[in-house]
Amino acid sequence: MTDTVPVARLGRVAHRYGQSIALDDLTLDIPAGRMIGVIGPDGVGKSTLLALVAGVRIIQTGTVHVLGGDMADPTVRTALVGRIAYMPQGLGRNLYPTLSVLENIDFHGRLFGQDAAERQRRIDELLTATGLAPFKERPAAKLSGGMKQKLSLCCALIHDPDLLILDEPTTGVDPLSRRQFWDLIDTIRARRPGMSVIVATAYVEEAERFDWLIAMDDGKAIATGTAAELRAKAGEASLDEAFVALLPETKRNQHHKVVLRPQPFTDDPTPAIEAEGLTRSFGDFVAVDHVSFRIARAEIFGFLGSNGCGKSTTMKMLTGLLPASSGTAKLFGQQLAADDMETRQRVGYMSQSFSLYSELTVLENLQLHARLYHLPKAEVPGRIAELLSRFDLADVADARPESLPLGIRQRLQLAVAVLHRPAILILDEPTSGVDPIARDAFWRILIDLSRDDGVTIFLSTHFMNEAERCDCISFMHAGRVLAVGAPQDLVRERGSASLEAAFISYLEQATGTVRDAPGDPVPASVPPQSVERARPLRRFDRGRLWACSRREAMELLRDPIRLGFAFFAPLLLMLAFGFGISFDVENLRFAAFDQDNSLESRQLIESFSSSRYFDERSPIRSATELEARLKSGELQLAIEIPPSFGRDLQAGRVPGLSIALDGAMPFRAETTRGYVTGLATQYAQRIAAAHASSSHAPTAVSVETRFRYNQAFKSANAMVPSVIMLMLILIPAIMSAIAVVREKETGSIANFRSTPISKFEFLFGKQLPYIAVAMVSFVLLTILAGLVFDVPIKGSAWLLTLASLLYVASTTGFGQLISSFTRTQVSAVFATAILSIIPAVNFSGLMVPVASLSGGGRLIGLALPPAWYQPVSVGVFTKALGFAELWPNLVVLAGFFLLFLILAQLALNKQEA
Amino acid sequence: MKRLAIHVSNILQLALKELRSIRADPVMFVLVAYTFSIAVYTVATGANLEARDLTIGIVDEDRSDFSRSLLGVFGPPLFKTVTLITPAEIESEMNAGRLVFVLEIPPRFQADVQTGRQTGLQLNVDATAMTQAGNGSIYIQQIIAQEITNLLAGREATSTLPINLVTRARFNPNLDSSWFSSVMQILNNVTLLTIVLTGAALIREREQGTVEHLLVMPVTPVEIMLAKMMANSLVILVAAALSLVLVVEWLLGVPIAGSLSLFILGAAIYTFSVAALGILLGTIATTMGQFGLLAIPVFVVLQLLSGSATPMESMPVWLQWTMRIFTPTPHFVVFSQAVLYRGAGLDVVWSELLFLATIGASYFAIALMRFRKVIFG
C-alpha cells in the first residue's frame, strides 16, 4: 500500500535552542506507509524533527502537517496524538523504572481508555510478540537495554498507531537485540501495512533496511531517497562512506581514513592486563561472572556487548574502582589492590559518560589532573601544551566542556586520561554518540598511542567497524565472556560473513539455552489486527485520571526516600517544632549576691527559689564573680542585695535591690523581667502589710487575669495546632512539587506530551495520591498531638478533618503550581520550602496573631491558605469552635484549591518549547 | 613525611577545584550572598517576638472619666488597636482571634476605687497567642496599676513599694530583639548552607560521574572529603564573618562584645562537623531531589532544637540531652552567644569547643565510613 499523500509535510521549518540552530529552514515531504530512516550524527536536528512531527514540541516557525492535520492547531493535534506513537531517545525514557513490565504497558493502555479485557488481550499479544512474556513481573529498571527498548515499543504500540516515531531506538543495544528489534518492527508492519514508521538512528549501517532515507547535517536534509539512490549519488560502496561523501566539502576535508598499523613486537611475555575468574555481584545479581582474559602489551583490546552486560563493571574492577567479589586482576603481573597509588599512576581511565568538571575550563581540567598525578612542576606547562596540540584542543583551551561538541569532549577526556603517560588506558565506550568523522579522528589518536608509545588500550564499543580495528576482541553477554580472539579469527571460527554475524551467532548460542528462540517472535496464529478505529477521544476521561493516580501511587510506594519523607518527616518535624518553639520560660538559673545576710534578704531569696520559674545555684561571693558567672552563661539572673537591706527595710528607708539579667535572648529576658517584677512586688507587699504603721496600704483594686482556651498557659496547646498547619503545607507541597518535576527530569513527561491525557487529568490525577498521603499524616499528627503533647481536640474532629482535606487539597495544588515552572527536583524542593515556610511561619498566626499584622505581611498571609487554616486548627483544637464560626474559612480554602488547580493548568505546557 | 606532603598537596588542589566549582555556580553564589545579607537584615528588622501591636478590646460598663481615659493609654507601639465592645461581643471577637486581650471594667469602678471599696477588673487573654499573652498581660497590669495610682494621687506618683527595684538587662540593655535575631540568623545560615553546599558538591560529582574519575586517580577518599569540607566551609566562614561585621555590626548597629577571631575559630570547628553531616546525607541520597528531601528535616530539627529559636531550658530534659550529645548545634549556639554578646573568652568557652570538636570528629568518622562504602560500592 503506497499512499500518495505524505504522512508528514514540513514547510520551511526552523527551530533553535538559544543560540544554536537545530533545524534550518527545512522543507520536506515524508512519504506514507513506509519505513523512513533519519540518519546523521548527534546534534544535527534529528530529534527535533521527530519531536515536531510527534507534536510534543512547539513549532517555532514554519508549518508541520501530520496525517493531513495541522499540528499547530491544538484541537487537531489533540485528536491526532491518539493516532501517533512516540518513543523518545534514550533507553526506556518513557518507562517508569520501579513499575513492572506489565504495569508499564497497562498504564499506557489506560491512557488510551481501553477497558480491562481489551488491555489484557493487547498486552498478552504484545508480550508474546516481543518475547517479554516471561519477564512481565520484572521492574523496568532491571531490564537489559534491549528489553527496555522492546518494552518501550510495546507501550508505544498499545493503541495501534497509524504513525510510529522512534528516536534512536537501538543506541546502546547489542547486535542480537537490535536485529530482534527490527524483526519485530517488520512483523508489526506486516500486520498493519498502513502504518508509517519514522526512525532516527546514528548507526548508518542500520539504514540499509529502511525504505526511504533522510540524511541530515546541520539542521538540513542533505539528501533523501532509498539507500541505493544515496549510494549511487555519492558513488561509494557503503552507506557510511556515502554519508561522509555527501557532507559539505569543508567537513569532508577533515576526514581521513583510519589506517591500522602492525603491532610492535615486545619481548616481555607478562601480559599488561590479566583477569582470572573475575566475579562481581550486587546483592543476588551477578553482574560479572568468572571473566578471564589476557591483554598483551601495546595491544588494542575491544570489549563488545549490550548495555548492562557487565562491560563497565569489569572495567571498573580493573581500575581498582570496584573491588572484585572473587577472582584476581593483575596489571603487569601485579595483583591489583585497593588504595594502591602506584598502579593508579600507571592507568588512565575514561568513564562511559563525560566525567570531567564541566565548571572548569579545558585548561583548568588538564592542570588539575597534572597536579593530582604529581607531574614535576617544570614539566607541566610543556606536557599540557603538547596535549593541547596533539588532541587539537588549543582553540578551546579556555572554553568550558559543556559548551563543546561531544566529539571534542571525548578528545579532552582522552587527553586527561593519557596526561600522566599511563602504560594502560581503560576506555569505557569512548565513541558512543560521536559522529563518524570525529570517531575516525579519535581512532587515529588511539592507534598512534598504541603503535608509537606502546600504550595498552582496553576499550568497549558498540560499533562493529571499531571492533574490526582492534587487535583482539571479546564478546560479552549477561556477565560472561562468550569468546575472545582476533576479529578475523572469530569470524572464521563461526564461518560468518561479518563480525556482526559472528557476534550474533555467539549470542544466540548463549541465550538459546536460557530461553526459547526469541528471534522468531511471530506466532503464525496471530491474525492481522482487526481495524478497530481509534475511538473518539473524550475531553475528560475518568479512566485516564485514575491511570495517572494509580501509577503515581505505585511509584511513591516503591520509593523509600520519598515515602519516608512523606510519613516520617511530618512526625519528626512536629516533635521538633512542638518542643522547639516553646515560649514557656522556666528553670531560669539564678544566684544571689547577698551582702546583707539578714532574715529579710534570706526571705527574699527564698521567694525566688521556691518559684518553679527559677532554679537556684550556689551563692555569689563577689562582684567580679557575679560578672564572670553571668558572662559564662552559667547564670541567667543575678540578685544583688546591698549590705543594709534588712535594716533599711525595717526602718522604712526603701532600700535598693539590684537585679541583673542576661539579655542575650531578649524574649526570655523580657519574660524573666516580668516574673522578677511580680515576685519582688509580692514580697514588698508582704513586708508592707507586715508593717502596721506603713502608709503603703495595698491597693484595693485587683486585676484578675483569665487565660482563656489554654488555662494552663502551656505553649504546646497553642503551638501544636499551628504546627499541624505548617506540616500540612510544607510536606505535601514539596511532595507534589517533586511529582511533576521528576517526570521532567527522568523524561517520562514525554508520555504526557504524546498521549491524549489532558492537563487536568494529569495534574489532578497526580495530586490525588498526595492528598491521600497528607490526610494520613494529618491523622498521625493529630494522634501525636494527643499522645505526646497532651493536646486533644476539643471541638468536632469531623469538622477539622473536612477543613484539613480542603487545606491539603490547596497545599498540594500549591506544590504543583510551583513545579509547573521549576525545572529540577532540587529547585522545586527548595523553592517550595522557602515559599511555604516564610508565610506559614511568619504571617499565618504561628508566631504572631494575624490580627496584629499590618501591611505587606498581612496581605502575604491572607493571600495563601495557611492563614485561613490556622484559625480552624486552633479553633477546633482549643476553642471548640464549630461550623457556624468557621464556614468562611472552609469556603476560602476550597477556593484556593480551585485557583491553584486552574493556575497550574495554565502554567503547564502540553508541548515542549 | 613525603606522604604527608602529598596528602596536603592533594587536599589543597582538590579544595581549589571545589572553590572554582562554587565560583562557576552563580545560583549558589547568589543564595549565599542573599542569605547572609538581605535575609539577615530582614529577619532582624522584621519578625520579632517582642510583645507589640497587641489587639485589645475594652468593655466599659463604668462610663466614667477614668474608664474613658483608659482608652487613651493603650497606644502604639505596644498596642495596635483599642476597640470598644459590648459584653456580648467578647466571645465572638476572641473566638475569631480578632482580639487577643479584652479588659472588662465593671459599673461604678471609678467611684469604688476613689472611695476605697474593694473592686476588680477582669482581663481576658487568648492564651493561644503565646508570644503575646504572657508578657502582654504583665504590661497591661502594670499600665492599669500606674493609672490607678495616678487616679488616687491625682498626679504622676512615684513607687509605692518599700523596695526600690532596679532590673538591668545585661549584654542587651534595651532587650532589642534584632540583636538576637540577626546573630541567630547567621548561625542558622551557617548550618543550612554548610549542609547544602557540601552535600550538593558531593551529589553533583555523583550525578555527573566525576567522583568515579577522582577515585581512579592517586587520591584517597579522605583527601576528597576533606577538600570538599574545607572549601565549602571556607566560603561559609568568609560570608559569615563579612555578614557579622558589615550587616550586623555596621548596618544594624549591634555591638559585638567578644573577639571575632575566637568566633571564627568556633565557627570553623562547627562547619567542619556540619560539613561532615552534609557529606553523610550526600552518600544517602543519590539525586539532588532526594538530597533536598533529606536535608530539610535535618536542618529544621538542628535549628529549632538548638536553643537558637527559643530557650533550651524549656525543652524536656531528655530532649535537651539528646540534642547536646548527638548534635553540634546547641554547643555552637551557646558558644556564639557567650562570645558575641557577653564577650566571653577562650577560658569560658573551651568546653563547648571541645564538645564541638568531639561531635565533629564522630560525624567525620561516620561520614567517611559511608563515603567509602557507598562510593566504592
**How close B322 comes to chain A (CA, Å)?**
12
If one compares B139 and A712, the residue with the highest pLDDT of the two is B139
Closest residue to A357, CB basis, from B17, B212, B343: B17
pLDDT confidence of A515, banded at 50, 70, 90? very low
Residue in chain B closest to A717 (alpha carbons) equals B128
B334–A360: do the CB atoms touch at under 8 Å?
A: no
C-alpha cell at B191: 548550618
B310–A633: do the CB atoms touch at under 8 Å?
A: no
pLDDT confidence of A1, banded at 50, 70, 90? very low
Using an 8 Å CB-CB cutoff, list chain B residues near A789.
Answer: none
pLDDT in tens, A108-117: 999 888 888 9
pLDDT in tens, A419-458: 988 999 999 888 877 777 778 888 988 998 888 888 999 9
As a whole number of angstroms, the distance between CA A71 and CA A60 comes to 12
As a whole number of angstroms, the distance between CA B21 and CA B34 comes to 19
Is residue B265 classed exposed, middle or buried when 0-12, 13-18 and 19+ CB atoms within 10 A define those classes?
Answer: middle
As a whole number of angstroms, the distance between CA A818 and CA B213 comes to 36
Residue B100 contacts residue A849 (beta carbons within 8 Å):
yes
- Three-class SS of B112-137: HHHHCCCEEEEEEEECCCHHHHHHHH
Domain map of chain A by residue range?
A: 8-93+140-253, 255-336+422-480, 357-421, 542-578+714-907, 588-690
Is B97 in the A-facing interface, judged by CB distances under 8 Å? Answer: yes
Closest residue to B218, CB basis, from A345, A660, A680: A345
In percent, the amount of chain A with pLDDT more than 90 equals 24
Quote the mean pLDDT of chain A.
85
pLDDT confidence of A691, banded at 50, 70, 90? low
Task: Kindly report the number of other CB atoms within 10 A of residue B125's CB atom.
Answer: 24
- How confident is the model over A685-697, as a mean pLDDT? 59
Task: Kindly report the number of other CB atoms within 10 A of residue A225's CB atom.
Answer: 14
Using an 8 Å CB-CB cutoff, list chain A residues near B201.
Answer: none
As a whole number of angstroms, the distance between CA A710 and CA B11 comes to 57
Max mean pLDDT range (A139-153, A306-320, A450-464, A864-878): A864-878
As a whole number of angstroms, the distance between CA B108 and CA B88 comes to 20
* Residue A746 predicted with pLDDT over 60: yes
A360–B24: do the CB atoms touch at under 8 Å?
A: yes
As a whole number of angstroms, the distance between CA B356 and CA A735 comes to 34
Q: How many CA atoms lie within 13 A of A416 on its CB side?
A: 33
**How close B15 comes to chain A (CA, Å)?**
11
Residue in chain A closest to B53 (alpha carbons) equals A852
Is B100 in the A-facing interface, judged by CB distances under 8 Å? Answer: yes
What one-character DSSP code corresponds to residue A99?
A: S
**How close A467 comes to chain B (CA, Å)?**
25
In percent, the amount of chain A with pLDDT more than 70 equals 94
Using an 8 Å CB-CB cutoff, list chain A residues near B293.
Answer: 561-562, 565, 569, 734, 738, 829
Q: Mutate which of B53, B165, B189, B256 to test chain A, going by most A C-beta atoms within 10 A?
A: B165
Using an 8 Å CB-CB cutoff, list chain A residues near B337.
Answer: 633, 664-665
Buried b or exposed e, range B291-317, using 16+ CB within 10 angstroms: bbbbbbbbbbbbbbbbbbbbbbbbbee
**How close A284 comes to chain B (CA, Å)?**
15
* Residue A732 predicted with pLDDT over 70: yes
A709–B128: do the CB atoms touch at under 8 Å?
A: yes
pLDDT at B240: 95
Using an 8 Å CB-CB cutoff, list chain A residues near B165.
Answer: 657, 659, 676-677, 680-681, 684
- Assigned superfamily of B54-153: abc type-2 transporter like domain (3.40.1710.10)
* Residue A640 predicted with pLDDT over 60: yes
pLDDT in tens, B61-88: 988 888 888 888 888 878 888 889 999 9
* Domains A8-93+140-253 and A255-336+422-480 in one fold: yes
C-alpha cell at A547: 491511570
**How close B58 comes to chain A (CA, Å)?**
14
- How confident is the model over A808-816, as a mean pLDDT? 95
Please name the CATH architecture into which domain A8-93+140-253 falls.
3-Layer(aba) Sandwich (3.40)
- β-pairing, B101-105 with B54-60? parallel
Q: Please, what sign has the CA dihedral across residues A326, A327, A329, A334?
A: positive
- How confident is the model over B323-349, as a mean pLDDT? 91
pLDDT confidence of A695, banded at 50, 70, 90? very low
Question: What's chain B's length in residues?
Answer: 377
User: A885, A913, A538, A505: which is closest to A749 by C-alpha?
Assistant: A913
As a whole number of angstroms, the distance between CA A294 and CA A324 comes to 17
C-alpha cell at B212: 568515579
Residue with cell 571556607: B234
* Residue A860 predicted with pLDDT over 80: yes
User: B100, B98, B127, B78: which is closest to A858 by C-alpha?
Assistant: B98
* Residue A596 predicted with pLDDT over 70: yes
As a whole number of angstroms, the distance between CA A475 and CA A464 comes to 11
Q: Please, what sign has the CA dihedral across residues A366, A371, A374, A378?
A: positive
pLDDT confidence of A69, banded at 50, 70, 90? confident
B311–A851: do the CB atoms touch at under 8 Å?
A: no
Amino acid at A516: D
A654–B219: do the CB atoms touch at under 8 Å?
A: no
* Residue A2 predicted with pLDDT over 60: no
Query: What CATH number labels A255-336+422-480?
Result: 3.40.50.300
Residue B333 contacts residue B341 (beta carbons within 8 Å):
no
Report the Cα A763 to chain-centroid distance in Å.
19
The number of C-beta contacts closer than 8 angstroms across A and B is 398
Buried b or exposed e, range A546-560, using 16+ CB within 10 angstroms: ebbbbbbbbbbeebe
As a whole number of angstroms, the distance between CA A860 and CA A719 comes to 21
Using an 8 Å CB-CB cutoff, list chain B residues near A718.
Answer: 127-130
Q: Please, what sign has the CA dihedral across residues A23, A24, A25, A29?
A: negative
What one-character DSSP code corresponds to residue A264?
A: P
Residue A298 contacts residue A455 (beta carbons within 8 Å):
yes
- Three-class SS of A285-340: EEEEEEEEEEECCCCEEEEECCCCCCHHHHHHHHHCCCCCCEEEEEECCEECCCCC
Closest residue to A347, CB basis, from B47, B216, B292: B216
User: A856, A894, A839: which is closest to A872 by C-alpha?
Assistant: A894
Report the Cα A332 to chain-centroid distance in Å.
41
Containing A26, the helix (H) or strand (E) segment is strand A20-30
* Farthest CA pair distance, chain A: 128
- β-pairing, A69-70 with A61-66? antiparallel
pLDDT confidence of B49, banded at 50, 70, 90? low
Task: Using CA atoms of A389, A391, A395, A401 in order, give the dihedral in degrees to the nearest 10.
Answer: -140
ipTM reported for the complex, 2 dp: 0.82
As a whole number of angstroms, the distance between CA A223 and CA A203 comes to 17
B167–A344: do the CB atoms touch at under 8 Å?
A: no
**How close B237 comes to chain A (CA, Å)?**
22
- How confident is the model over A751-764, as a mean pLDDT? 89
**How close B213 comes to chain A (CA, Å)?**
6
Closest residue to A826, CB basis, from B163, B292, B297: B292
| 3-state secondary structure (DSSP) of residue A589 | strand
What one-character DSSP code corresponds to residue A42?
A: T
Residue with cell 471548640: A880
Determine the angle formed by the axes of helices B177-208 and B329-336, rounding to 10 degrees.
140
Residue B103 contacts residue B83 (beta carbons within 8 Å):
no
As a whole number of angstroms, the distance between CA A158 and CA A106 comes to 9
User: A682, A752, A717, A733: which is closest to A839 by C-alpha?
Assistant: A733
Amino acid at A647: R
Amino acid at A464: M
As a whole number of angstroms, the distance between CA B349 and CA B356 comes to 11
Whether domain A588-690 has CATH 3.40.1710.10: the reply is yes
Using an 8 Å CB-CB cutoff, list chain B residues near A708.
Answer: 94, 124-127
- β-pairing, A61-66 with B54-60? unpaired
pLDDT confidence of A547, banded at 50, 70, 90? very high
Is B222 in the A-facing interface, judged by CB distances under 8 Å? Answer: no
User: A409, A353, A432: which is closest to B210 by C-alpha?
Assistant: A353
Is B127 in the A-facing interface, judged by CB distances under 8 Å? Answer: yes
Using an 8 Å CB-CB cutoff, list chain B residues near A371.
Answer: 9, 13
Is B343 in the A-facing interface, judged by CB distances under 8 Å? Answer: yes
Domain map of chain B by residue range?
A: 2-46+175-376, 54-153
Amino acid at A758: S
Q: Please, what sign has the CA dihedral across residues A117, A120, A123, A129?
A: negative
As a whole number of angstroms, the distance between CA A605 and CA A624 comes to 20
User: A772, A531, A641, A551: which is closest to A94 by C-alpha?
Assistant: A551
Determine the angle formed by the axes of helices B26-36 and B177-208, rounding to 10 degrees.
170
Q: Please, what sign has the CA dihedral across residues B304, B203, A326, A98?
A: positive
Residue B4 dihedral angles phi and psi, to the nearest 5°: -65, -45
Residue A638 contacts residue A593 (beta carbons within 8 Å):
yes
B168–A658: do the CB atoms touch at under 8 Å?
A: yes
